[in-house]
Structure 1
Amino acid sequence: MTEFDYGNLAYLGLLGAVLVIWMFIQNRERLGQKLQYLAIWGLIFLGAIAAVGLWGDIRQTVMPSQAVFADEGRVELPRAPDGHYYVSLDINGVPTRFVIDTGATGMVLTQQDAERAGLDAEGLMFHGEASTANGIVRTAPVRLDEVALGPFTDRGVRAYVNGGTMRTSLLGMSYLQRFERLEISGGRLILER
């Protein structure tokens, strides 16, 4: 938890304590009933805290993540609730999330992902251009030392760093063509080599 979370928790605890004290002072004659209500609200509060704390585990169970079948040379990606397919690749040893974009020609990294992968942000030359749904953006060509997806490792992969703002890096056809089979079936994107 961050300091901000602790501050919010302290504030909520203080607010809850004030409400409980006010409740007892307001109606002292029905103390047993008030204690029952207090116990019920306490259990609801604890349940909400447990749900928030366990949300990451619950989400992984409800929304499966990518599955790698190394012995079969296959990777399966589930369709996300937003309708897109996402994959996590290791770029120079750093896990990086990509959205699959079969309409994109190349692999395009956000500036933040490029920096995390060890690319020198100051030395990038944004002399290329790419046409996107949001218009023309400047790009900087780069070579990635290593790109790994499960058992598949490629070296010297050509990519681009987007000079504009992007939420997620894009995985386009230049990388997807390295697979022998690309199939969408039953809400899953299947990649095989």
Structure 2
Amino acid sequence: MGLQDRDYYREQLRYQKPPKKGGGSLKYLIIPALMLATLWFGADALLKYQAEERIKATPPIEPITGGVVLKTDRQGHFRGVALINDVPMPFMIDTGATKTVIPAKMATAAGLPFGRPIQTSTAGGKVYDSETQISSLKIGNAEIRNLDAHINGHIEQVLIGMNTLKHFSMTQNGDTLTLTANNQVTDRLPIEPTVSFDSISAQPPARSPEKIIKRLNCDENQNCKTTYSDR
């Protein structure tokens, strides 16, 4: 490099504006943050949309007194929509599950408390759920209160287990499953037929007990004979 070149670069550096402190790094932080926020809200909206679509796609249920009638879907499962703390949630009947299990996102929407973790066995292996209690679970016209349940972060619909189904009488007829709340079935004792007043008045009056009189008759020779008479 010659003297002229050195003087040229020196002049260029003298009039060059110094970079703003921190401006560039802040710009590189804001852009990723905005991208993450966009992805977060987009994913949340997508999950809500998928949940609504699952509810719409759930086979319709027919409420009956104290229960509900379910139809099988294309996979042969009995599905419907339940109200958990008045929040609609799609459900599937799972007779192999001991407890009713709620998806974590739906549990949050229903305000369910997340209790202590507990290990459970599933078809896919061991998983950890959280214990909870449902204040109100409504299936059709039947309602169960203060129901123990589990919360799981890996499922997308409520699994109705045996601790819920034990409150119902289940009748399956082909592709139809009828759930009737047990407290709707009342045990009736047989009632004996009553006696009418007419039949009582038509009966003959009761006879008073007969009075038997004992007599001892003796002749002159003191020969005695005992006789009995009602007069």
TM range (shorter): 0.5 to 0.7
Show the counterpart of 1:185: 173
Show the counterpart of 1:85: 78
How far does residue 126 in structure 1 lie from its aligned partner after superposition? 4.6
Larger relative CO (CA 8 A, sep 6+): 1 or 2? 1
Structure ID, larger Rg? 2
Query: Residue 81 of structure 2: SS of its match in structure 1?
Result: strand
Mapping 1:58-69, distance limit 5 Å: 65-69=60-64
Count of aligned positions: 127
Show the counterpart of 2:91: 98
Q: Distance in 2 between matches of 1:90 and 1:77?
A: 15
Q: Distance in 2 between matches of 1:167 and 1:156?
A: 23
Show the counterpart of 2:207: none
Q: 1:171 aligns with which of 160, 164, 167?
A: 160
Show the counterpart of 1:75: 68
Q: Distance in 1 between matches of 2:98 and 2:124?
A: 16
Q: Deviations over 1:105-150 (max 9, x none)?
A: 0100111110111125xxx245201100111110111111111122
Task: Point out the structure with the larger helix share.
Answer: 1
Mapping 1:145-156, distance limit 5 Å: 145-156=135-146
How far does residue 64 in structure 1 lie from its aligned partner after superposition? 5.2
Q: Distance in 2 between matches of 1:126 and 1:139?
A: 8
The 8 Å contact of residues 99 and 160 in structure 2, kept in 1 or not, is answered as yes
Report the identity percentage.
31
Show the counterpart of 2:103: 110
After superposition, the Cα gap between the structure-2 partners of 1:75 and 1:125, relative to the gap in structure 1 and judged at 3 Å, is closer
The 8 Å contact of residues 126 and 138 in structure 1, kept in 2 or not, is answered as no
Q: Distance in 2 between matches of 1:155 and 1:138?
A: 25
User: Which segments of 5 or more consecutive residues in structure 1 lack a partner in the other structure?
Assistant: 1-55
Q: Distance in 2 between matches of 1:151 and 1:177?
A: 16
The 8 Å contact of residues 120 and 127 in structure 2, kept in 1 or not, is answered as yes
User: What is the letter of the counterpart of residue 106 of structure 1?
Assistant: K
User: What is the letter of the counterpart of residue 92 of structure 1?
Assistant: N
Query: Residue 97 of structure 1: SS of its match in structure 2?
Result: strand
User: What is the letter of the counterpart of residue 170 of structure 1?
Assistant: L
Q: Distance in 1 between matches of 2:105 and 2:150?
A: 13
Q: Distance in 1 between matches of 2:73 and 2:136?
A: 26
How far does residue 158 in structure 1 lie from its aligned partner after superposition? 0.6
User: Which segments of 5 or more consecutive residues in structure 2 lack a partner in the other structure?
Assistant: 1-52, 182-231
Q: If the length of structure 2 is used for normalisation, what is the TM-score?
A: 0.51
How far does residue 165 in structure 1 lie from its aligned partner after superposition? 0.9
The 8 Å contact of residues 100 and 164 in structure 2, kept in 1 or not, is answered as yes
Mapping 1:120-135, distance limit 5 Å: 120=113, 124-135=114-125
Q: Deviations over 1:142-165 (max 9, x none)?
A: 111111122212211110001x41
